[in-house]
Structure 1
Amino acid sequence: MRSNGEPSRRSRPSHWGCWRHPAARRTTGSLRLALRSFLDLLRMRTFRGYLGILVSSAALLFSYISTAPFVLQGVFEFSELEFAATFGAVGLGLLLTSLATARLLRRRHPRSVIRSAQLIQLAGVLLLALVIFVDVGTGWSHPVLLVASLAVAVVPCGAIGPCCTALAMAESGQRAGSASALLGVGMFLAGGLVSPLSGNGHPAIIMVALMLIAVVTGPMLGSLTARRR
């Protein structure tokens, strides 16, 4: 900043309206350097842990998205309006959870929020498994319990995702771009792997099985985030 209040040449916005990144902090782009950056990040224990938690949370979310139409409409015989209302309510819960997490982080560490969300999620998946296995075994169904257990199982993803992303990016340092790429690829790779499984076998049992695997894997991978003494 010059003495007359005008921005200096170094910090002046470029012709497309963006502020120039300091030349000393720029990195050259090449496939070799990008791959090296990815490998360096994957060698970091804490980054792998947060990446794993995020991937398991995404797997649970995508297993719900891909199987919900078959479970709610095919197995529990929800009408189109009931399915839309349920899907919209869970989506609204995800949004509200993300907003509440932003306020909660003023008083609690993100790792604490993640652990609490994982416990809530585990309780929701276990309740969902009970509701579905009772329906499959006895034919007795309770739509209210089903919707409630689905919400408790899925809505915590709105807290786990942002917290894991923030902590993983904090670990990445100057490799923030590479870290963001790995996080994005991991999430959608999980979605691409679990979604086709929804058509194999009983959709409700497939959904519960995928959610159980995800909700158990998340805390196990979370142990990687504990720093070694």
Structure 2
Amino acid sequence: MSARLPLPGWLILLGALTAVGPLSIDMYLPSFPALELALGRGAELTLACFFIGLALGQLFYGPLSDRFGRKPPLYVGVALYLLASLACALAVNIEQLAALRLLQGLGGCAGMVLGRAIVRDRCDARSAAQAFSLLMLVMGLAPILAPLLGGWLLLLADWRAIFAFQALFGLACLLAVHWSLAESHVQRGAAPLALGSILRGYGALLRERHFLAPTLAGGMAQAGMFAYIAGSPSVLIAQYGISPQHYGWVFGANALGLITASQLNARQLARHAPAWLLQRALWAPALAGVGLLLISLLWQGQPPLWLLLPGLFGFVASLGYIGPNAAASALAGQGERAGSASALLGALQFALATLAGLAMALGHGGGSLPLAAAMAVCGLGALLALRLQPRAEAAPQPA
């Protein structure tokens, strides 16, 4: 199937499944003060546990989906997310909530990894990149809308209502998967699952440079955006005195840039191959990151805001081109092991993003310099990672 339709029904459902991650991350951020008042300090721990679940869970769902099809593991993952969300709403202490958030992440990542695999099953490389560009609408809108929805629920009830809403969302997704999503992986593997064979499969993927190069390129760029998410509040609010409300507008403007770029990318895919667009788009975060680092060094960590904000915008907006084309390029040609490839792609990229977030957590002080340095390293790393591709595959492809 092609993704040429304006917004196919199956793609809308995959968008909802992809939204589980950002919805579960951003929606309960406004509830941190009330949550800690009720359960004790450690709200950040619950977020970290969810991240761990997201990263690790992907490695399991991919091989399972290659063996049994996409829908059975999707049933398991969404059902686990639903039950864990209900349990989170009933948690009695912060340690219990952290453990339940780990389970919620293990379930919620199923839609992310299997969504990419289903797109690969239904689309060729160019149509897959178009479909991923449409899914970037969800990834861009969720960080804007989820905190607003969480804040609205806090006005009507307490923090437990947020997890109750997530459980209802999981139930709706589970029913939609059952009634509306056709199985896309009909040629399933016959070999029994074994840890050794799974590890060998991942090892083989890591040795394939046409998979590894775009995966690392997309992961490094995504890590730079994760550094921005983790570091920009302290820089913009604490250093420059931007109010939390105005910071939301800055964050939203950058997310809007990402959305706009992803839709421009979808249009340009009618004339250019995903690999061709990816090669050129990777220059944007590299130049933006280096530019941010240079102005931070020149102004000793306190550059003018009018110079800082365009660099942040350019870096984040470029992900609208890089994310869809990197995923489509990495998954092209994977065939029957698209699930495993999607799982490894997600796990590697999320691991890089988590490392960037940890680096920002350790890099307090120095004004904008730590953030600019992290984004410069990630931008240049993304550009260099694509050089791992074999020369013939790295050459621009005709439209």
TM-score tier, shorter chain, comes to: 0.7 to 0.9
1:227 is displaced (CA, Å) by: 4.0
1:209 is displaced (CA, Å) by: 1.2
CA 1:21/1:89 → structure 2, altered by over 3 Å: closer, same or farther? closer
| Matched positions, count | 211
What's the counterpart of residue 9 of structure 1? Answer: none
2:230 is the counterpart of 1:66: yes
- Greater RCO, 1 or 2 (C-alpha within 8 Å, sep 6+): 1
Q: Compute the TM-score of the two structures, normalised by the length of structure 2.
A: 0.49
Deviations 1:58-96 (A, max 9, x none): 211111111010111122221222211111110111111
Give the gaps of 5 or more residues in structure 1: 1-15
What's the counterpart of residue 196 of structure 1? Answer: 358
Pair member with larger Rg: 1
Q: 1:114 aligns with which of 263, 266, 278?
A: 278
What's the counterpart of residue 209 of structure 1? Answer: 373
What's the counterpart of residue 265 of structure 2? Answer: 101
Distance 1:204 1:19 in 2: 48
Distance 1:61 1:203 in 2: 18
Q: 1:132 aligns with which of 279, 285, 296?
A: 296
On the 8 A contact 1:123/1:152 being kept in 2, the answer is no
Distance 1:54 1:223 in 2: 13
On the 8 A contact 2:220/2:352 being kept in 1, the answer is yes
On the 8 A contact 2:289/2:373 being kept in 1, the answer is no
What's the counterpart of residue 345 of structure 2? Answer: 183
On the 8 A contact 1:52/1:218 being kept in 2, the answer is yes
What's the counterpart of residue 4 of structure 1? Answer: none
Give the gaps of 5 or more residues in structure 2: 1-177, 394-399
2:313 is the counterpart of 1:151: yes
Q: Which has the higher helix share?
A: 2
On the 8 A contact 1:50/1:167 being kept in 2, the answer is yes
Letter in 2 for 1:49: A
On the 8 A contact 1:46/1:227 being kept in 2, the answer is no
1:196 is displaced (CA, Å) by: 1.8
Letter in 2 for 1:176: A
1:29 is displaced (CA, Å) by: 3.0
2:189 is the counterpart of 1:26: yes
CA 1:225/1:142 → structure 2, altered by over 3 Å: closer, same or farther? same
Deviations 1:165-205 (A, max 9, x none): 00111132321011100111012111221112213242521
Deviations 1:21-70 (A, max 9, x none): 54x54344332322121111111121111121122112111111110101
On the 8 A contact 2:286/2:382 being kept in 1, the answer is no
What's the counterpart of residue 322 of structure 2? Answer: 160
Letter in 2 for 1:188: F
Distance 1:161 1:21 in 2: 23
What's the counterpart of residue 102 of structure 2? Answer: none
Letter in 2 for 1:196: L
Distance 1:179 1:73 in 2: 39
On the 8 A contact 2:283/2:383 being kept in 1, the answer is no
On the 8 A contact 1:56/1:190 being kept in 2, the answer is yes
CA RMSD of aligned residues (A): 2.2
Once the two structures are aligned, what percentage of the paired residues are identical?
Answer: 29
What's the counterpart of residue 36 of structure 1? Answer: 200
Letter in 1 for 2:229: I
CA 1:19/1:131 → structure 2, altered by over 3 Å: closer, same or farther? closer
Distance 2:193 2:265 in 1: 35
1:125 is displaced (CA, Å) by: 1.8
What's the counterpart of residue 3 of structure 1? Answer: none
Q: Compute the TM-score of the two structures, normalised by the length of structure 1.
A: 0.83
